[in-house]
Chain A
Amino acid sequence: MNYKNISNLLERYFECTATAEEEQLLRSYFQTEEVAEDLLPYKDLFCAIQSEAGVSLPADFDAKLQQRINSQKPATPFRARIISLNRSLSPFYKAVASVALVITVGVMSGNFWSARDPEPVEYNYANYHDTYSDPEIACEKVTDVLRDLSTALRGSDAADTAAVLTDAKTTIKE
Chain B
Amino acid sequence: MIDFNKDVLPLKNKFYRLALRLLHNDAEAQDITQETLVRLWTRCSSLASASDAENLGLTISYNLSRDALSRAGRNYEPLDNIDENLVPSNTQDIIDTLVAADRRTFIKKIINNLPPKQKTTVQLRDIEGKSYREIADIMQISEEDVKITLYRARQSLKESCKKSDAYEL
CB of B74 to closest CB in A, whole Å: 21
CB of A56 within 8 Å of the partner chain: yes
Among residues 1 to 56 in chain A, which have CB atoms less than 8 Å away from a CB atom of chain B? 13-16, 20, 23-24, 33, 40-42, 44-45, 47-49, 51-53, 55-56
Chain B residues within 8 Å of A33, by CB = 90
Evaluate contact between B84 and A57: CB separation under 8 angstroms: no
Contact A57/B30 with A16-B151, A42-B161 known, Cβ cut-off 8 Å: yes
User: B9 — nearest CB in chain A belongs to which residue?
Assistant: A62
> Dominant SS at the B interface?
helix
Chain B interface size, under 10 / 10 to 19 / 20 to 34 / 35 or more: 35 or more
Q: Is the CB of B154 within 8 A of A16?
A: yes
Q: Is the pair B38, A57 in contact by a Cβ cutoff of 8 Å? A: no
Interface 1/0 per residue, B97-128 and A, CB below 8 Å: 00010011001100100000000001101111
Q: Given A45-B157, A69-B38, are A40 and B165 neighbors across the interface (CB < 8 Å)?
A: yes
| Complex alpha-carbon distance, A58 and B16, angstroms | 11
User: Does residue B22 face the partner (Cβ distance < 8 Å to A)?
Assistant: no
Q: What's the Cα separation between A68 and B30 when bound, in Å? A: 13
Residue of A15, A55, A72 near B13 (CB, 8 A) is A55
Docked complex Cα distance between A52 and B88 (Å): 14
Given contacts A48-B108, A51-B86, contact A14 B9 (CB under 8 A): no
A-B pairs with beta carbons under 8 A, tally: 81
Question: A16-B154, A44-B164, A49-B111 provided; 5 other pairs, C-beta below 8 A?
Answer: A48-B104, A48-B108, A61-B12, A65-B38, A68-B38
B residues with CB within 8 A of A = 9, 12-13, 16-17, 20, 30, 33-34, 37-38, 41, 84, 86, 88, 90, 100, 103-104, 107-108, 111, 122-123, 125-129, 131, 147, 150-151, 154-155, 157-158, 161-162, 164-165
23 A-B interface contacts by CB (under 8 A): A15-B151, A16-B154, A20-B129, A20-B131, A23-B126, A40-B165, A41-B161, A41-B164, A44-B104, A44-B107, A44-B164, A48-B111, A49-B111, A49-B126, A52-B111, A55-B20, A56-B13, A56-B16, A57-B16, A57-B30, A61-B33, A68-B34, A69-B41
